[in-house]
Amino acid sequence: MSERSTKLLLEDISVAIQTIFQFTEGYSFENFESDLKTRQAVERNFEIIGEAVARLPQEFKDLNPNIEWRVIKDFRNFIIHDYFGVNHQILWDTIQLRLPELNLDIKKVIDSNHF
């Protein structure tokens, strides 16, 4: 397993978020639910986000308590381990309601250069 810097891990998170937004742009929940390829691609990018979060140094996470690091990692674990029972509505709601805020928070951290 290669070591990635905190900056690269944050960029991985940012790219995965942008990819999810691109894959779901213009979609309704019904479009998303009926599109297996998009759902699986979105799940993969949530896995990337969670894995990158898991690899961030704890000291860094402690300095940025406004971001729900544990929730993000737990969401990744849910997708990985309960893959057969992933609720599409939960995925969709996360994209619509939680991901925009995470996107802004990650951008702020990257722009601050405090890592």
Active-site choice (4, 39, 55, 81): 81
Give the integer Cα–Cα distance in Å for 67 and 92. Answer: 20
Instruction: Give catalytic status of residue 81 as yes or no.
Output: yes
Instruction: Give catalytic status of residue 39 as yes or no.
Output: no
Active-site choice (76, 88, 98, 114): 76
Give the integer Cα–Cα distance in Å for 64 and 61. Answer: 5
- Measured CA distances, 80 to 25, 74, 105 (Å): 24, 10, 24
Hey, which residues are catalytic here? 76, 81
